[in-house]
Amino acid sequence: MAKEKDTFEAKSGVGFKVFSHYLRFVHNQIYYRKLHWIGTENIPEKGPLMIVSDHQNCLSDALALLMAIFHTRKKRQHRILARASVFKPIFTKPLRWLGIMPAFRLEYEGAESLSNNADTFNESENELLKDGTLIIYPEAGHQDKRWLGTFSYGYTRLLFNAAARTNFEKEFFILPSCNHYSNYFNIREDVLIKFDTPISIAPFYELYKTKPRTAQRQVNALVRKQISGLMLDITDLENYESIDYLRESEFGRKYALNNGYDPNYLPDKLLADKKLFASLEQAKEEREEDILKIYQEIRKLEQAIKGLRISDYDFNKKICLPKLLLQGLLLLILCPLFLFACVPNLFIYLSPRIITRKLTDRMFYSSINFGFYLLISIPLFYTVAFVLTWIFTKSLLIALLYLVSLPFLGIFAWNFYKVFKQWLRQLRFYFLKEREKLEEVSVLRNHLFSALNELIK
């Protein structure tokens, strides 16, 4: 009976409601700059549903998907199957509270741990039978790049088992989904959750009764195909770094604009990047030697630009000294406000490094940062700032106003820092002493971009 308290139905108290509002505020307003939910009309209002998605950013994927459900289908119950290794002592209760359950994997937790899945799978099937939502990531582990890994089709067995418990009289659906980020690691970035049309498994019931694995494989193939069509699936892993650099460079921005997409709007940028990769793949089929040679040169170009500590975008900006001086003056004027905003927000942003600096898998960074902000640094430092302000000003009103302003001051501080870094980089570009090397890099860049335009026009 103790485990039953962790179920979604038990989350109707005031504590959970307060926590869920706090979670959404930190996630939607502080951590991310903008969230995009595409295709939410495809989420059924009722009925058993399994949402299947690609997996690229650890716990951040699940949280972003939860926000889409909270926003559009608040009444939907949910369970999320997540890798058991993320259930650290400090996170276990909040994760369970949010309906996230541990799934033990052979590759990560070992064969001896697989027996622990019995309770998780039983709870998952029960959720489906109660017309709930089950969220699953069949790649098991998260990918470190924008590509779709191998799907384990075991997740389909959960759905068919639940259907069998109704004597195959109830219809169950799978909703393919994808997640996409403007940047995996930084805060104040954009995230996109996109849903396709639901897939009914009812047409596979008869096949499942005689050939269960065949039915599972066929359903899995349909789901994987839809997810690959939703996301940016860069299948050319040998040349991934070159392709990723191109889509993020000024070449990728101009390609988006030339094809009618807004590169500053993440849903548009995703479509433009998918189209660009398709064009590159077509060029590779037609003129493989030429495109592979360009990919090799792109890697050299990227290293040369990094060596100069500048950005690809700097080549296309009209950088003039009066504009730089004016920007510098404005930054200087705003510097006192930046320093004021850094207390205590600087400590909040830097505190997760206690953990992240020891990580070898960078794809955990975002999840650790968010979890640390949510559960430790924001409650701790905002409370200390509020109490100290109250003590020194002897005014509860001033302390409350300061507390309310802290998240917005933090956002200002982060944006100031980004603009300051960009200004420094442009200043370095303008006064770069290695002008001869810069000219060589510029010539190489123009040559490669022109050659690419000819190949994919």
**Range among 70-84, 113-127, 135-149, 386-400 with highest mean pLDDT value:** 386-400
- What is the pLDDT confidence band of residue 7, given thresholds at 50, 70 and 90? very low
Identify the sign of the CA torsion 42, 46, 47, 51: positive
CA 337/CA 301 separation, integer angstroms: 39
Count of CA atoms in the C-beta half-sphere (13 A) of 373? 25
- The reported pLDDT for the residue numbered 3 is 43
pLDDT-derived band of residue 1, with 50, 70 and 90 as boundaries? very low
Question: What is the residue whose two structure tokens read 């810069």?
Answer: 438
Residue 2 has pLDDT above 60, yes or no: no
**Paired tokens of 123:** 């709870």
Q: What are phi and psi of 88, to 5 degrees?
A: -75, 155
CA of residue 138 relative to chain centroid, distance: 17
Residue 230 one-letter amino acid: L
Find the DSSP H helices in 287-320: 288-307
DSSP notation for 209-235: HH-HHHHHHHHHHHHHHHHHHHS----
CA–CA dist 159, 216 (Å, integer) = 10
- Specify which of 119-133, 306-320, 325-339 reaches the highest per-range mean pLDDT: 325-339
AA identity, residue 9 = E
Task: Dig out the tokens for 243 from the structure.
Answer: 């392709």
With a cut of 70, say whether residue 5 has pLDDT above it: no
How far is the C-alpha of 391 from the C-alpha of 12, rounded, in Å?
36
Which residues, including other chains, have CB under 8 Å from residue 89's CB and lie 6 or more apart? none
Tokens matching residue 169: 């009289």
Does residue 269 carry a pLDDT above 50? yes
pLDDT tens column, 144-197: 899 999 998 889 999 999 999 999 999 999 999 999 999 999 999 999 999 999
Give the pLDDT score at 8. 43
DSSP E strands, 117-195:
133-136, 173-181, 189-195
Compute the Cα dihedral for 408, 414, 419, 420 and give only its sign: positive
Decide the pairing of beta strands 189-195 and 32-38.
Answer: parallel
Q: Which pLDDT band holds residue 107 (cuts at 50, 70, 90)?
A: low
Report pLDDT for 73: 81
H or E element, residue 25 = helix 14-25
Does 75 score more than 90 pLDDT?
Answer: no
Measured between alpha carbons, how far is residue 165 from residues 130, 154, 160, 168, 204 in Å? 12, 17, 9, 7, 15
pLDDT the model gives residue 82: 79
Q: Count of alpha carbons within 13 Å of 177, Cβ hemisphere only?
A: 35
The percentage of the chain sitting over the pLDDT mark of 70, rounded to a whole number, equals 95
Among 139, 150, 148, 155, smallest CA distance to 199 is for: 155
Instruction: Reply yes or no on whether the pLDDT at 246 is more than 70.
Output: yes
- Asked if pLDDT for residue 112 goes beyond 80, the answer is no
| DSSP bridge pairs for 79 | 134
Asked whether residue 4 carries a pLDDT value surpassing 70, the answer given is: no
Confidence of residue 10 (pLDDT cuts 50, 70, 90): very low
Would you state the pLDDT for residue 451? Answer: 96
What is the C-alpha to C-alpha distance for residues 14 and 354, in angstroms, rounded to an integer? Answer: 32
pLDDT (average), residues 269-273: 98
Radius of gyration of the chain (CA): 25
Among 142-156, 254-268, 333-347, the least confident range: 142-156
The answer, yes or no, to whether residue 29 has pLDDT greater than 90, is: yes
Q: Distance (Å, rounded) from C-alpha 323 to C-alpha 218?
A: 60
Give the whole-number percent of the chain exceeding pLDDT 90: 74
pLDDT (0 to 100) of residue 97: 75
| Tokens 């009976």, residue located | 1
> What is the pLDDT at residue 359?
87
Between 97 and 389, where is the model more confident? 389
Largest CA distance in the chain: 77
Tokens 């996630």 — which residue? 27
Mean pLDDT, rounded, of the chain:
91
Strand partners, 173: 49, 200
- Residue 282: which residues within 8 A CB-CB, separation 6 or more? 456
108: pLDDT confidence band, cut at 50, 70 and 90?
low
Structure tokens at 56: 């690229």
* Residue 370: closest CA among 227, 191, 196: 191
Q: Is the pLDDT of residue 106 over 80?
A: no
Q: Is residue 92 scored above 80 in pLDDT?
A: no
Long-range contacts, stretch 182-188, CB < 8 angstroms, 24+ apart: 182/266, 182/269, 184/56, 184/57, 184/362, 184/363, 184/365, 184/366, 185/362, 185/365, 185/366, 187/30, 187/31, 187/32, 187/349, 187/369, 187/414, 188/31, 188/32, 188/33, 188/411, 188/414, 188/415, 188/418
Strand partners, 53: 177
Pick the range with the lowest mean pLDDT from 107-111, 254-258, 313-317.
107-111
- Tell me, what amino acid is at 30? I
Beta strands (DSSP E) in 76-120 are 78-83, 100-103
Q: How confident is the model at residue 68 (pLDDT cuts 50, 70, 90)?
A: very high
Half-sphere exposure of 276 (CA within 13 A, CB side): 31
Across 419-427, average pLDDT: 95
CB environment 301-335: b (16+ within 10 A), e (fewer): bbebbeebebbbebbeeeeeeeebeebeeeeeeee
**Residue among 103, 76, 102 nearest 91 (CA):** 102
Confidence of residue 111 (pLDDT cuts 50, 70, 90): low
Distance separating alpha carbons of residues 411 and 399, to the nearest angstrom? 19
Q: What is the mean pLDDT of residues 215-243?
A: 97
pLDDT at 350 over 50: yes
